[in-house]
Structure 1
Amino acid sequence: MTREFVPGNYRFIPAVFQYSGGAAALPGYEIERVRFDKWLPLADGFAQAAKYIQAAGRPLISFCACELRSPAAFTEDGFRKFNEHYVKTLAEWGLYDGASNPVARSNVCPEIDPPSEPSFYAFSFTRPIRNTMPSFIISGSGEAREGGATYSERTVRYRDLSPDGLKEKVGFVVGAMEGRMGEFGFGWKDATAVQAYTVHDFHPVFAETLVRRGAARSGLTWHFARPPVIDLEFEMDCRRVLREVVI
C-alpha cells in the first residue's frame, strides 16, 4: 500500500528507514531526474542537489530519489552505519522523521574504478507539470527477501553462483520490480528506463526472464557494479521519467 507525502508532491511505498520502495509524482507534478557528469562525494552531492532544486523554484522537500555509488559492498553492520549517516541530511530537509522515509534510492558499488568514498550519481525531485503524464522511480532491489532476518537468511540462493542460482536470483529481482510498480498501478509497459547491476553474466536468462516479461521494452542499461551488501549478486531499478538532464 502506498502513502502520500503531500509536502513533497509524491506518494511512496513504505519500506525501511533508509529508503522507500519507490516514489511516484502526485497529479499535477512530474519527476525530474538529474545525473551528475562526474560523481560527487555525498556531502557535495547533497549540496549541489539543493542548489539545483532551489534554482528550479522547488523546496528541498521535493527531493524524491537518489542514486549513489560506494567504494565496495558493505557488511551488514557497515551498511547500517552508512545509512544512519545518510539519513541525517534527509532529516534536515524535512524528509525523514525518524521512522518514515519517502525517498527512493539505489546504492551500488562499481567493480572497476570505484569512488574513494560514497558518492552521488543522480538525484530526482518533483516539479509542477501541465499535462497528466505519470512518472515514478522504483528503488533498487537485490535478491534479498523483505523481513527482519539477516541478509544471509533471506538472500535467494545465498552464495549460489551456479546458472540455476543466478536464474532464480534474476527472476526474484524482476518480480520485485513488478511488485513495486504494481503498488503504484504501473508495469513494464510504463517504464522508460531499466537498470541492472551485477558483475555476473546474466545473458543466458536475459531473453526469458527479462525480455519476455517486458522488462527490456525500452532497452536495459547494465552497470558493471555490485549491490551494496556483501553476497548480494544482482540488483535492478526502473523508472518512468520524461525529463532527464546531465549537469
Structure 2
Amino acid sequence: MTTVDFQPGGYRFVPGVFQYSAGVAALSGFGMRRVQFRRPVPLDEGFARIEGIIKAEERPLTAFCACELRSPGQFSEEGFRHFNERYVDTLARWGIFDGSTNPVARSNVCPEVGGPAEPSFHAFTFTVAREEPRPSFVVAGSGECPEGLGNYRDHIVRRGDLSAEAIAEKARFVLGEMERRLGALGAGWTDVTATQVYTVHDIHPFLAGEIVARGAAPGGVTWHFDRPPVVDLEYEMDCRGVLEELVV
C-alpha cells in the first residue's frame, strides 16, 4: 500500500474503492480536527452542517477528509452501491471525488438498537492549517472481507459462521487490515488515540489475546453495538490518531 497526496485538502490517502479511501494522514503544515455530532444528523443536513463548520474555519471544502456514518440497517450489495453513488455526489460537487478516485476515509455502520431512520453522520474529520509534532491520521473502517474484488458475499471470512472461533478469526483478519493501513500511513498502534470496534457479537473471548496483547488498544477500545453496513459482514474496526476532537 502506498499513499497519494491530495494537495487541495492538505492530506494524503491510501487508495481504496470508489466510495472511500483506506485511510488519510495530514500533510506537513496541517493537522486534523474531528467533530462528533451529539446525535446522528441525516446525510443531506449533515453535509450542510459540515460545509458551514469547515467554511467557518476558513478552510476549503476539500479539507473534508474522513467521516463516520450511521445507517438504519444493513444494505444488500446492490443497495450499498446505490447509497454510495448518492454519497459521492456531494464529494464531487466539493471538488473531492473525481469520478473514480475518492480520497475521503469512511466508516458506515448500523446500530443494532436505537439507530437512525435514515443514513446519517455521526462524526467527520477535516484538516486545519497548523504544525503538529506528528501527522494526524484516520484509518477507514474495514469488515472481514478484502475490498475491491467485485462483491462481498464470495470473499467474506467464515461467511455465515457465528461461532466464537469464527468471530475471532474475523477479528484477526480485520486487525491485520488495520495494521496494513496504518503501515501505509507511516503509523503504528502506538500512534493510535482511539480504537473502535463495531459488532453485536461478544468480543471478550479474544479482547485480551488478539486486541490488547498486540497493542491495538493503547487508548482502550470503544465497542459500538453496531453491525457493519453489508449483509453477512459481522465485525468491523477503525482507528485514528487525532489530537483535537470536538462534540457539537
TM-score range, shorter chain: over 0.9
Indicate the residue corresponding to 1:41 in structure 2: 42
Whole-angstrom distance in 2 between the partners of 1:211 and 1:18: 31
**What is the rounded CA distance, in whole Å, between the counterparts of 1:215 and 1:133 in structure 2?**
19
Task: Compute the displacement of 1:116 (Å).
Answer: 0.4
Gaps of 5+ in 1: none
Structure 1 residue 151: deviation in Å? 1.2
The Cα offsets for residues 185-235 of structure 1, whole Å up to 9 and x where unpaired, read as 111000000100000001101111100110111101000000000010000
Query: Distance between the aligned counterparts of 2:120 and 2:90, measured in 1?
Result: 14
Shift of 1:39: 1.1
Q: Identify the residue that residue 150 of structure 1 maps to in structure 2.
A: 151
- How many angstroms does 1:107 deviate by? 0.3
Residues 72-87 of structure 1 mapped to structure 2, 5 A cutoff? 72-87=73-88
Structure 2 partner of 1:118: 119
Q: In the alignment, residue 148 of structure 1 is paired with which amino acid?
A: L
Which amino acid counterpart does residue 172 of structure 1 have in structure 2?
F
Question: Which whole-Å CA distance do the structure 1 matches of 2:148 and 2:113 have between them?
Answer: 31
Separation in structure 1 between the aligned mates of residue 125 and residue 119 of structure 2, nearest angstrom: 18
CA–CA separation in structure 1 for the residues paired with 2:150 and 2:142: 16
After superposition, residues 43-192 of structure 1 pair within 5 angstroms as: 43-192=44-193
- Tell me the distance in 1 between the aligned counterparts of 2:148 and 2:56: 40
Say whether residues 1:23 and 2:24 are aligned partners. yes
Residue 219 (structure 2) pairs with residue 218 (structure 1):
yes
Per the normalisation by structure 2, the TM-score is 0.98
For 2:107 and 2:166, the matched residues in 1 are separated by 23
Work out the number of aligned pairs and report it. Answer: 247
In the alignment, the residues of structure 2 paired with residue 147 and residue 110 of structure 1 have an alpha-carbon distance, to the nearest angstrom, of 25
SS at match of 2:107: strand
Q: Are the counterparts in 2 of residues 140 and 235 from structure 1 also a CA contact under 8 Å? A: yes
CA shift at 1:132, angstroms? Answer: 3.1
CA positional deviation for 1:243 = 0.5
Structure 1 counterpart of 2:130, one-letter code: I
Gaps of 5+ in 2: none
Do the aligned partners of 2:31 and 2:131 also contact (CA within 8 Å) in 1? no
What is the CA–CA distance in structure 1 between the aligned matches of 2:95 and 2:208, rounded to whole Å? Answer: 43
Q: Secondary structure at the match of 2:174?
A: helix
Matched with 2:230 is 229
Task: Give 3-state SS (helix, strand or coil) of 2:67's partner.
Answer: strand
Secondary structure of the structure 1 residue equivalent to 2:72: coil
Report the residue type matching 2:122 in the other structure. Y
Matched residue SS, 1:148: coil
| 1:133 shift after superposition | 2.5
In structure 1, distance between residues paired with 2:41 and 2:98: 26
Aligned residue identity for 1:86: Y
**2: distance between equivalents of 1:184 and 1:5?**
14
Q: What's the RMSD between the two structures over aligned residues?
A: 0.8
- Give the CA deviation at 1:145: 1.5
Q: Which moved more, 1:232-241 or 1:149-158?
A: 149-158
For the 8 Å contact 1:194–1:238, the answer to whether it is kept is yes
Maintained 8 Å contact 1:28/1:132: no
Between stretches 128-137 and 72-81, larger displacement belongs to 128-137
| Residue 6 in structure 1 maps to residue 7 in structure 2 | yes
Indicate conservation of the 8 Å contact 2:31/2:132, yes or no. no
1:150 positional shift: 2.3
